[in-house]
Amino acid sequence: MKEYIKIETLFNRDISGTKKLIEGSFRNPTVEFLKDNKWQWTEKVDGTNIRVHWDGHVVSFAGRTNNAQIPAPLINKLNEYFGGETNAQLFEQTFGEREVTIYGEGYGAKIQTGGDYVEDGKSVNFIMFDLMIGDNYQDRESVCRCAETFGVDVVPVVGEGTLEEAVAYVKSHPMSHLGRKIKEMEGVVCRPIIELNDRCHNRVIVKIKWEDFKHFV
């Protein structure tokens, strides 16, 4: 089961002492080249990374790493969505014996600040943000179809536009779109409208977090 890719911050950080981002100093030249193209922005959820893996026969769960501990209430929620014979049949019907990993975020009580996403402040949940079949990440449409099959939420698309527009959006400190308790958005994850890799075969994807940009407001 593959770990989810490390999503780079958009800009470089100052190494002279402040450690703040240097706005306009792009970390990845491919991202800089594509900055004025249309990107899709999805909400970044403050939780714990979860992997749901179908090896062609059996479903298993893991955190960001294989050694990461998943809270028991979240394991129960994952089993509700993906465990058991009925869900195994859904995996087989949808994907056959192909190897599949569903990536998402576990959030809720006692998981980062995720308790603010849920109305009662005590429950936990899972929200999907990516899907890998074999070695290939799938497009948004495929992610949504998979989420619908298993009855889980998908991180909301909060906008489309250039990276400059995405930065301006995050600087406005928008509220979460998850539709639960009032909570400010942690930030956004931006992907080109068309899935792309750079010259080193790394996926083109960046994160823009309010915490990094509040100093520029």
pLDDT (average), residues 153-160: 97
Backbone angles phi, psi at 31, to 5 degrees: -60, -40
Backbone angles phi, psi at 44, to 5 degrees: -90, 120
Q: Which of 70, 171, 76, 58 is nearest to 111 (CA)?
A: 70
> Could you tell me the CA-to-CA distances from 165 to 36, 155, 159, 193, 215 in Å, in that order?
9, 20, 9, 15, 17
213: burial class by Cβ within 10 Å (0-12, 13-18, 19+)?
Answer: buried
DSSP summary character for residue 111: B
**Confidence at residue 121, expressed as pLDDT on a 0 to 100 scale:** 66
Helix (H) / strand (E) containing 42 = strand 39-43
Helix (H) / strand (E) containing 192 = strand 187-192
**Confidence at residue 17, expressed as pLDDT on a 0 to 100 scale:** 85
pLDDT (average), residues 87-113: 93
Residue 180: pLDDT above 80?
A: no
Q: Go through the domains of the chain in sequence order and give each one's CATH number.
A: 8-44+157-216 (3.30.1490), 48-154 (3.30.470.30)
> Could you tell me the CA-to-CA distances from 51 to 29, 62, 80, 107, 196 in Å, in that order?
30, 5, 15, 13, 22
Reported confidence tier of residue 179, pLDDT bands at 50, 70, 90:
low
pLDDT (average), residues 170-176: 94
Proportion of the chain above pLDDT 90, given as a percent: 81
Reported confidence tier of residue 178, pLDDT bands at 50, 70, 90:
confident
Mean pLDDT value across the chain: 93
Residue 113: pLDDT above 80?
A: no
Quick: pLDDT tens for 41-82.
999 999 999 999 999 999 999 999 888 899 999 999 999 999
**What's the per-residue H, E or C state across 113-177?**
CHHHHCCCCCCEEEEEEEEEECCEECCHHHHHHHHHHHCCEECCEEEEECHHHHHHHHHCCCECC
Reported confidence tier of residue 161, pLDDT bands at 50, 70, 90:
very high
* Distance separating alpha carbons of residues 146 and 125, to the nearest angstrom: 17
Q: Which of 47, 48, 46, 44 is nearest to 9 (CA)?
A: 44
Quick: pLDDT tens for 182-206.
688 999 999 999 999 999 999 999 9
**Confidence at residue 108, expressed as pLDDT on a 0 to 100 scale:** 87
- Contacts of residue 51, defined as CB under 8 A and 6 or more positions apart, other chains included, come to 1, 3, 4, 61, 62, 63, 64, 101, 102, 103
Please check whether residue 171 is in contact with residue 194, taking contact to mean a CB–CB distance below 8 angstroms: no
